[in-house]
Amino acid sequence: MDIVFSSGHGQKIRGASGYLDEVDEARKVVEAVAELWRKSGVGVTTFHDNTSTSQSQNLNTITNFHNSKKRDLDVSCHFNAYQTTSKPMGCEVLYVSQSELASEVSAAIAGAGKWPNRGGKKRTDLAFLNNTNEPAILLEVCFVDSSSDADSYRKLFDVEGFRVIVE
Ligand SMILES: [Zn+2]
């Protein structure tokens, strides 16, 4: 199995920020999880966009990278944002065609972070999911503006939870 795994947004096109910075944390998660998957014998190529200076360029750069590789699955790592809160908010995994995988992965990440499992969510309006040519899921690991999620992420989060994607 081969996976291309990228972080959302880019070095110059920043994502959400609150108690956690989305771009910084997504990059860390991608690299840590890629290491875990490689140890399980999966071929993983990671990508972080360091060059794009506009939203459309960023989305094109990421999807073009994915589509330039031979792989079985496309995965994108984001962190969510809604409004500043101390309540736990949790994980959701977005998909167009991968309903079952998205549910499974969302439950696993929620378990790894000990935060709520919001589950798989069908989204037909996202460039990453629409423009990558292989089965794709987009992870929203937890909420950057929830102090509870951020605390759990810093203290408890274990990339082992991501093993489920390659099992
Ligand atoms: Zn994002």
Taking the centre of ligand 1 as the mean of its atom positions, its distance from the CA of residue 36, in whole angstroms, is 23
- Is the pLDDT assigned to residue 160 strictly greater than 90? no
Taking the centre of ligand 1 as the mean of its atom positions, its distance from the CA of residue 10, in whole angstroms, is 10
In angstroms, the Cα distances linking 72 to 46, 118, 133, 136 are: 14, 25, 10, 9
Taking the centre of ligand 1 as the mean of its atom positions, its distance from the CA of residue 70, in whole angstroms, is 25
pLDDT in tens, 113-138: 999 999 999 999 999 999 999 999 99
The pTM for the full model equals: 0.96
Taking the centre of ligand 1 as the mean of its atom positions, its distance from the CA of residue 102, in whole angstroms, is 17
Question: What does the pLDDT read at residue 157?
Answer: 82
Question: What does the pLDDT read at residue 66?
Answer: 98
**CA 17 to centroid of chain Cα atoms:** 15
Compute the half-sphere exposure of residue 44: CA atoms within 13 Å on the CB side of its CA: 22
Question: What does the pLDDT read at residue 85?
Answer: 98
Looking at the chain, the number of H-run helices and the number of E-run strands are 5, 6
Distance CA 16, CA 20 (A): 8
